[in-house]
Structure 1
Amino acid sequence: WEQVESLYPCPGWVELDPEVLWSQFVGVTKEAVQAAGLHMRQIAGLGISTQRATFITWHKRTGKPFHNFISWQDLRSAELVNSWNKSFLLKVIHVIFTVLHFLTRNDRYLAASFLTFSTHQTSMKLSWVFKNIHEAEEAAKRNNCCFGTVDTWLLYRLTKGSVYATDYSNASATGIFDPFMKCWNSGLCYLLSIPMSIYPPVKDTSFNFGSADSEIFGVTVPIMAMVADQQAAVFGECCFHPGDVKVTMGTGGFWNVNTGEHAFASQTDLYPLIGWKIGKEFVYLAEGCMTDIGTAIKWAQDINLFTSVDETEKMAQSVADSQGVCFVPGFQVSLNDPYLGACFTGLKPSTTRNHLVRAILESVAFRNKQLYDIIVKNVRIPLQTIRADGGVSNNSFVMQMTSDLINKKIEKPANADMSSLGAAFLAGLASGMYTLK
């Protein structure tokens, strides 16, 4: 594996270099096959699991990007988000859809009646692009602008521009795709002045998307699945039944509940997603998230609270408690306020690094408890198995404290990277290696 470095060109902005990402993707794929003692010609199918809601736009004819990837953690749209959420127009929209829901009892209208924007959604950042990047705006007017999340960009590059598509899981995570109607949301795009011509076709998650050009890997390799990382982890954890829960603790923290064949409409901090589409089967998820688990831990390492992440568990366990120190996470996007910063409270002369580290880890467990309570209160499906993955799930202190707080058993696989496994499972289904989940 190889870490893709984030770029921070301005305060609050988070970007990825598309050429660096592409180069690392190709390199890591080749290395993984070689490390497995295989040759590319032996690969039956490639499954691609990618970070969600990070996007790029490029010129349809030349393939040249108009900007770097804009990360899901990016805050450049904060002013737009704040303005829209306070706007009279949004209040009118809420009233209209509240009435429609009352008359029809259609959950799609319930979801719209509580519509709010946030900085981690693609919609507002994409609106920012067309307001601030003239080349993208002009290309869109001439139907020459392509939009894509990471999966779409990789597919486009792998096929030398011959295939332009995404899947339902990635599309539904943008905040621009209507999971109830299963299409790009034209009404939202009209409100935000985003042209509908820019979006890729949406395909099944487990699907033959075409083949990687032979110049890239030496042979043509079928691309048999594309899936967003969190949905891939749900599939990799085999959370196939309504009520099954997947908890990922990595860069961010994500609780996903399988809600079966019905999209979930919430009045709270949960939102509906399409988990995957295989043939005629649509599986939906309800998701709650916390955005900066990994960011907080990486920051603590950068300021030398510890040398290795592996030390944090013992450091937290070396003290009886945090001595009243609390860590309030908020490096990227807080639950309610994108301008809120992180902080420690309760510091004393006796506070040590161990207390600070324990407070950071406790904040992860407390946020897990908060999301769990929201899910229990709002998702009207009995929760079944809870399974955890992601790098932070290797920390026994966080896992045990979370389990104690929610009073539930949490299962953890030996391999914490379940997104890759989920993508492999989905590719195997499409290539005929498996016939049933």
Structure 2
Amino acid sequence: LLEECRQGRVCYGCLETWFLWKLTSGKVFATDISCASVSGMYDPFTCKWSGPIVSGLGIPYAILPDVRPSSHLYGYIETGPLRVPGEAPRIPVTGIIGDAQAATLTEDCLGPGQAKLTLGTGTFLNLSTGCKPRALMNAGFYPVVGWASTDKFSKTATSATVQNSVDPGISVPGSSSSRPSSLTKYSSTHSLGGASGPVFTSDVTFLLEGSHENTGTLIEWLRSEGLFDSYTELENMLVEGDQLDLDLRNPACSTFYITVPPALLSRHQETLEMPTITREQRRLAGPDGILTGVGFQWTRLDRLTIVRAVIESIALTVRRMLDRCRKEAGVSPSELRVNGNVSLSNWLMQRLADVTNIPVQRSEFIDSSCLGAAITAGVGAGIWPDYASATGLIHGRRGASSHPDSSGGVNSKRFFPNVERVPLMHARYRFWCHSCATYSRKLRLTRFYRPLTMHRLSNSNPVAQQSHSEPQTQAQSVQPLRIA
């Protein structure tokens, strides 16, 4: 396949490129700048395909799709169920955008410093940096293009598209055409990623993106362990823990679900497969971390505490991501706008507000990505003059408070930090970070010490077998880590 790429017999594109190619009956070979920026071969700082990466792969530029603005007249649908027969006006394709960027657009994160958090299978945090790209590689954040727009249904663009619709379509790389796209006849202001050079539009937004792979998978892991049967039961268990004041009963902050850095995750999983690790010990290990401060025999109180610790780790992970942004770039959002299925938990949203000490706004839109794609297409079709007009018109945030004395009640969409719990959550966050660092050090030490040595350390300390009902100190809280 690589040899065919080098000979110009294969074209490269992601899913949106394939859909566009099929819908236009092979007449348009292009992608948008938001999808290109997360392909791994696009340089968001120069807004064109990365020369070093393309050269390193040994492939020609000609096999790559043209990069267009997100809101743009790409062409017309000429095949499939949306094809309009006869002389009736054809349906235009006026928008393409990545899913995370679309959700960020829906949440109206247009200005620098505004943040969108998606809690689904994973955690995805996007912060707007305005018209300039930024990179925080030490903090685990990478730059992506959010969205860009161009002239909407201008006469020049429409005329060019009509002319191209009768062209034979894509020129196979190696033929007389230097770029494999029927939209090459467009004005150069419509191109953002040719081999020549970057051309910026007047409306382009860059984002910083950071992610954590396991969020919804943590909840599925808890259910697979038999801790709850339904999401309603899970929410009730979290609320029951509040009624029992479990946060105050555990002043030593000894029970945590501590996460493993991605670089050490494989070593963590290999350690759990050691023959010296028992089935009970493996039960404490989740998809990307391990439970600490809890014994092997789980009482009802233990189950409540475990559920709280695992769900709380989602909020603690978000706090760590935000702290890294503050430290590395001075970016500190004043509000978190949250969407995704996991955000339906009122308890988690309130805990997130308490841990981060900033208001949390839960989205009222279930399908944020779909709505963002509709906004993109609407701007491209000229329905709205710009993105701000679109989001300002359709958003309609209700901004109800989640305080008990507010009319918002349990169904409120906005959650404010509880001033009484913020100091306690800050203490738990510090202990959690310490526990994560301790376990990471132990995983790194497995390079120098034999697994048998680690097992002997585990057997020499019976603290790991303690029940949760017994009080533990801060130092004891990390002792169960010796099982690894």
1:232 is matched with which residue? 102
2 CA distance for matches of 1:171 and 1:396?
Answer: 36
Say which SS state the counterpart of residue 227 (structure 1) adopts: coil
Say which SS state the counterpart of residue 434 (structure 1) adopts: coil
Contact 1:207–1:430 (Cα < 8 Å) also in 2: yes
1:433 is matched with which residue? 383
Please report how far the alpha carbon of residue 380 of structure 1 lies from its aligned counterpart in structure 2 after TM superposition: 3.3
1:326 is matched with which residue? 256
Shift in alpha-carbon separation, 1:290–1:139, aligned structure 2, 3 A: same
Structure with larger RCO (C-alpha < 8 A, sep 6+): 2
2:294 is matched with which residue? 347
Amino acid at match of 2:142: Y
Deviations along 1:387-423, one digit per CA (max 9) or x if unpaired, are 1111111111221111111110011122243111111
RMSD over aligned Cα, in angstroms?
Answer: 2.3
Shift in alpha-carbon separation, 1:374–1:138, aligned structure 2, 3 A: same
**How does 1:277-296 map onto structure 2 within 5 Å?**
277-279=148-150, 280=201, 281-296=203-218
1:191 is matched with which residue? 56
2 CA distance for matches of 1:249 and 1:420?
Answer: 16
2:73 is matched with which residue? 208
Contact 1:243–1:385 (Cα < 8 Å) also in 2: no
Shift in alpha-carbon separation, 1:137–1:405, aligned structure 2, 3 A: same
Shift in alpha-carbon separation, 1:337–1:211, aligned structure 2, 3 A: farther
Amino acid at match of 1:337: L
Aligned pair 1:176/2:124, yes or no?
no
Say which SS state the counterpart of residue 147 (structure 1) adopts: coil
Say which SS state the counterpart of residue 337 (structure 1) adopts: helix
1 CA distance for matches of 2:5 and 2:227?
Answer: 48
Deviations along 1:129-170, one digit per CA (max 9) or x if unpaired, are xxxxxxx22321321223222222222232233322111111
Say which SS state the counterpart of residue 145 (structure 2) adopts: strand
Please report how far the alpha carbon of residue 214 of structure 1 lies from its aligned counterpart in structure 2 after TM superposition: 4.2
Deviations along 1:98-145, one digit per CA (max 9) or x if unpaired, are xxxxxxxxxxxxxxxxxxxxxxxxxxxxxxxxxxxxxx2232132122
1:276 is matched with which residue? 147
Aligned pair 1:418/2:368, yes or no?
yes
Amino acid at match of 1:350: W
Question: Which residue of the other structure, out of 101, 110, 115, is the alignment partner of 1:245?
Answer: 115
Segment drifting more, 320-329 vs 377-386: 320-329
Question: Which residue of the other structure, out of 263, 271, 284, is the alignment partner of 1:336?
Answer: 263
Shift in alpha-carbon separation, 1:350–1:263, aligned structure 2, 3 A: same
Aligned pair 1:386/2:257, yes or no?
no
1:264 is matched with which residue? 134
Shift in alpha-carbon separation, 1:214–1:195, aligned structure 2, 3 A: closer
2 CA distance for matches of 1:148 and 1:321?
Answer: 52
1:395 is matched with which residue? 345
- TM-score with structure 2 length normalisation? 0.57
Contact 1:387–1:411 (Cα < 8 Å) also in 2: yes
Shift in alpha-carbon separation, 1:155–1:353, aligned structure 2, 3 A: farther
1 CA distance for matches of 2:367 and 2:232?
Answer: 17
1 CA distance for matches of 2:121 and 2:208?
Answer: 19
- TM-score with structure 1 length normalisation? 0.63
Q: Name the % identity.
A: 32
Please report how far the alpha carbon of residue 197 of structure 1 lies from its aligned counterpart in structure 2 after TM superposition: 4.1
Number of equivalences = 299
Amino acid at match of 2:229: T
Deviations along 1:223-252, one digit per CA (max 9) or x if unpaired, are 211111111111111111111111111122
Contact 1:206–1:225 (Cα < 8 Å) also in 2: yes
Could you say which structure has the larger radius of gyration? 2
Shift in alpha-carbon separation, 1:406–1:434, aligned structure 2, 3 A: same
Please report how far the alpha carbon of residue 202 of structure 1 lies from its aligned counterpart in structure 2 after TM superposition: 0.7
Shift in alpha-carbon separation, 1:156–1:218, aligned structure 2, 3 A: closer
1:138 is matched with which residue? 3
Contact 1:168–1:274 (Cα < 8 Å) also in 2: yes
Say which SS state the counterpart of residue 134 (structure 2) adopts: coil
Deviations along 1:59-106, one digit per CA (max 9) or x if unpaired, are xxxxxxxxxxxxxxxxxxxxxxxxxxxxxxxxxxxxxxxxxxxxxxxx
